[in-house]
Amino acid sequence: MHTIKKLNKISPVIYDYLPKENYNVSSHLEDDSEGFIVRSADCHGMDFSENTIAIARAGAGTNNIPIDKCTEKGIVVFNTPGANANGVKELVIGAMIAASRNLPEAYDWAKTLKGQDGVAALVEKGKGQFVGGEVKGKTLGVIGLGAIGIMVANAASAIGMNVIGYDPFLSVDRAWSISMYTHKAEKLDELLEKADFITLHIPQNDKTKGFLSTPEFSKMKDGVIILNFARGGLVKTTSLFDAMDSGKVKKYVTDFPDDDMLCHPNVLAIPHLGASTPESEENCAVMAAKQMRDFFETGTIVNS
Q: How far is the CB of 169 from ligand MLT (least distance, A)?
A: 17
Q: How many residues bind ligand MLT (CB under 6 A)?
A: 9
Closer to ligand MLT by Cβ: residue 152 or 192: 152
Q: How far is the CB of 251 from ligand MLT (least distance, A)?
A: 22
Handedness of CA 90, 91, 94, 99 (dihedral sign): negative
Cα(47)–Cα(159) distance, integer angstroms? 48
Cα(280)–Cα(39) distance, integer angstroms? 12
Closer to ligand MLT by Cβ: residue 161 or 292: 292
Q: How far is the CB of 148 from ligand MLT (least distance, A)?
A: 8
Site string for ligand MLT, 57-96 (x = CB under 6 A): --xxx----------------------x------------
Q: How far is the CB of 281 from ligand MLT (least distance, A)?
A: 8
Q: Does 144 sit near ligand MLT (CB under 6 A)?
A: no
Closer to ligand MLT by Cβ: residue 84 or 266: 84
Q: How far is the CB of 245 from ligand MLT (least distance, A)?
A: 29
**DSSP letters for 192-237:** HHH-SEEEE----STTTTT-B-HHHHHHSPTTEEEEE-S-GGGB-H
Q: Which residue's beta carbon is nearest to the bound ligand MLT?
A: 59
* CA 22 to chain centroid: 34
Cα(170)–Cα(149) distance, integer angstroms? 12
Collapse the DSSP code of 38 into the 3-class scheme (helix H, G, I; strand E, B; otherwise coil) and give the result: strand
Task: Round the CA-based radius of gyration of the chain to a whole number and report it.
Answer: 22
Under 8 Å between Cβ of 188 and 216: yes
Q: Does 275 sit near ligand MLT (CB under 6 A)?
A: yes
- Spell out the residues 6+ positions from residue 215 whose beta carbon is closer than 8 angstroms to its own: none
Closer to ligand MLT by Cβ: residue 60 or 93: 60
Closer to ligand MLT by Cβ: residue 25 or 58: 58
Closer to ligand MLT by Cβ: residue 35 or 203: 203
Site string for ligand MLT, 8-47 (x = CB under 6 A): -------------------------------xx-------
Closer to ligand MLT by Cβ: residue 59 or 165: 59
Closer to ligand MLT by Cβ: residue 62 or 139: 62
Report in angstroms the alpha-carbon separations of 171 from 139, 155, 206: 22, 22, 20
Amino acid 61 reads G
Q: For 201-211, b where at least 16 C-beta lie within 10 A, e where not — what string?
A: bbbbeeebeeb
Sheet of strand 35-38, all strands in order from the earlier edge strand to the far edge: 23-26, 2-6, 35-38, 54-57, 76-78
Q: Of the listed pieces 97-105, 186-194, 268-276, 285-293, which binds ligand MLT according to CB under 6 A?
A: 268-276
User: Interface with ligand MLT by CB under 6 A: which residues?
Assistant: 39-40, 59-61, 84, 272, 274-275
